[in-house]
Amino acid sequence: MTNREIAAVFEQIADLLEFQGANPFRVRSYRNGARKIADLSEPLSAFATGDTRALTDIDGVGKAQAEKIEELLATGRLEMLDDLLAEVPSSVLAILRVPGLGPKKAAMLHNELGINSLKDLRAACQNRQVRDLKGFGAKTEVTILRGLAIAEQAERRSRWVEAEAVVQRLLQHMSSVADIQQMEMAGSYRRGCETVGDLDLLVEANDVDAVMDRLGCLDGVAEVIARGDTKMSVRLDSGMQIDLRVVPGKSFGAALQYFTGSKGHNVVVRGLAKQRGLKVNEWGVFRVGEDGSEEYLAGRTEEEVYASLSLPWFSPKLREAREEFAWAAEGALPELVQLDDIRGDLHMHTTATDGKATLEEMIEASIAAGREYIAITDHSKRVSMANGLDTERLRLQWAEIDRLRGQYENIKVLKGIECDILERGGMDLPDDVLAEADWVIASVHYGQNQPLEQITERILGALENPNVDILAHPTGRLINRREPYAVDMEQVFAAAVEHGKLLELNANPARLDLHDIHCAAAKRLGIPIVISTDAHSTGGMEVMRHGVQQAQRGGLTATDVANTQPWESFRKLLRHALE
């Protein structure tokens, strides 16, 4: 199991314990453990198997938690979590996904009103039962109703990074079947969609029973939904469904193309085939005779399928029936940006505010990641919960960066700030201070429930400020947790063009903000995108790959992404002429 997966287990234990009214110290201990584990730059397995270090050497991890980590690493399961899940109805867990409902309030709803599901919760709110509970009220009831849509979506679909953890475990488990010749994931997972519903697994194998038997014994399978001659579906204890299809080699490429989708992309493919007197389905490409007979033409590979229609192979990230067919007709399919293209990371935090690593540690980790330049962008003072920087503390940090620049000749370190756009409008720090920065990020953290016109005007005002370089996480969304705030993105795009500003694609897999459609719009308008990690720890830099995947879905090339440029080119975008 990965650090992220184990941290998620500890976080779930904390939620369940708090739901049950356990000792607050015990709950806090698991939350702290989850945070420490998530921030680790080294895999927990290195501690568990190392001779010089032990799991208990990790700050915040005691003997009891170390034993649980060892159990998870060894078995992929935790008896304590299984016991807790047996005590709490599984449907109740969905209530915890409603924004603003922590475990304590969820427990009160369960105990006082008998609410066991999102459906129960919606009915109770609509019947005005929730407002009468102590600590709730009419406003809370309205907030819960707004948040139910997010929770219901989260119950059906997982974030891509969560699905990735399941996929890695699934593929490793299935790889032991010697008869498998080919094996690929399809569906929304392969297309890199922000959220994933069911998982689609395609396999070429002669021994179908061996493949299906192996899937059935995957750790975490709660139910075999169906098992046929070539298809099998199982449901995991998390609720996620896996659909397995075993297909012959001559059809593998056709099946992979068909089940990857999207539906809209495949509709266009089938339409183009029909125009040529052909038929395309999951079994292959066929020429249809006047008598209705079908002659097999292609299907072993996706390239064969597309070539039979005089089409190029499309990256799965582009298969959304947006612009890919027009690009193909013009011979201009974009060469999508790749992780190796990224040279700089321009949004990161240190222990000066809410980061977990020091300035020096973030610099050294950036060098190890192969970055040529970075920007240190701690929060401004408005973000008081993150110990945001006022003018005095910010200038002290910049003086320290000036001092360190002489020690690190193989990386350029920019003096930056993530400056809040205030609720009333305007920036959180004076213009004369921002003018001293090399890189100023403007962002909205507060007042996210304001009307569209007000939030839009705040952002437009920031983009007009000559000291602002870029707008961070432009819509403020958190996938499956918080809807985007109301903002007129067309006006934001127009202002970015007018004032020569950049827009951030935040690579944190919980954000992926900009949306892929917004990335495509920015590309059309020639607005440079910066893919940033918003890292709060050295391990947080690893999320860059998620931002690159999102950029690919928007059709972005390296030319569209500003931080793919070498330093000598990128520095020309800065307000100050840095060497």
Please choose, from the candidates 571, 6, 553, 575, the residue with its C-alpha nearest in 3D space to the C-alpha of residue 320.
553
508-512's contacts with Cβ under 8 Å and 24+ in sequence apart are 508/533, 508/534, 508/540, 508/543, 508/546, 509/159, 509/160, 509/161, 509/479, 509/543, 509/546, 510/159, 510/478, 510/479, 510/481, 511/473, 511/477, 511/478, 511/479, 512/194, 512/479, 512/546, 512/547, 512/550
What is the model's pLDDT at position 50?
Answer: 62
pLDDT of residue 154: 60
Q: Quote the distance between the C-alpha of residue 210 and its chain's center.
A: 34
CB of 541 closer than 8 Å to CB of 41: no
Q: What's at 401, amino acid-wise?
A: I
CB distance 319 to 305 below 8 Å: no
Name the E strands within 88-175.
Answer: 158-159
Q: What is the pLDDT of residue 41?
A: 63
476: left (phi > 0), else alpha (psi -120 to 50), else beta?
A: left
The tens-digit pLDDT sequence of the chain (579 residues) is 777 778 888 988 888 888 888 888 888 888 888 878 877 767 787 776 666 678 888 877 888 888 889 888 887 778 888 888 878 766 677 787 787 777 888 888 888 898 888 888 999 999 999 998 888 888 888 888 888 877 776 667 899 999 999 999 999 999 999 999 999 999 999 999 999 989 999 999 999 999 999 999 999 898 899 999 999 999 887 778 999 999 999 999 999 999 999 999 999 999 999 999 999 999 999 999 888 899 999 999 999 999 999 999 999 999 999 999 999 999 999 999 999 999 999 999 999 999 999 999 999 999 999 999 999 999 999 999 899 999 999 999 999 999 999 899 899 999 999 999 999 999 999 999 999 999 999 999 999 989 999 999 999 999 999 999 999 999 999 998 888 999 999 999 999 999 999 999 999 999 999 999 999 999 999 999 999 999 999 999 999 999 999 999 999 999 999 999 999 999 999 987 676
For 296, the token pair is: 């097999």
Q: Which is nearest to 437 in space by CA: 382, 500, 394?
A: 394
Contact 40, 539 (CB under 8 A): yes
Closest CA to 551 of 576, 575, 528: 528
pLDDT at 37: 83
Is the Cβ–Cβ distance between 273 and 280 less than 8 Å?
yes
* 508 closest CA partner among 541, 484, 557, 475: 541
The predicted pLDDT at position 19 comes to 84
Q: What is the pLDDT of residue 151?
A: 72
Domains of the chain (ranges; CATH) run 3-156 (1.10.150.110), 159-246 (3.30.460.10), 258-329 (3.30.210.10), 339-573 (3.20.20.140)
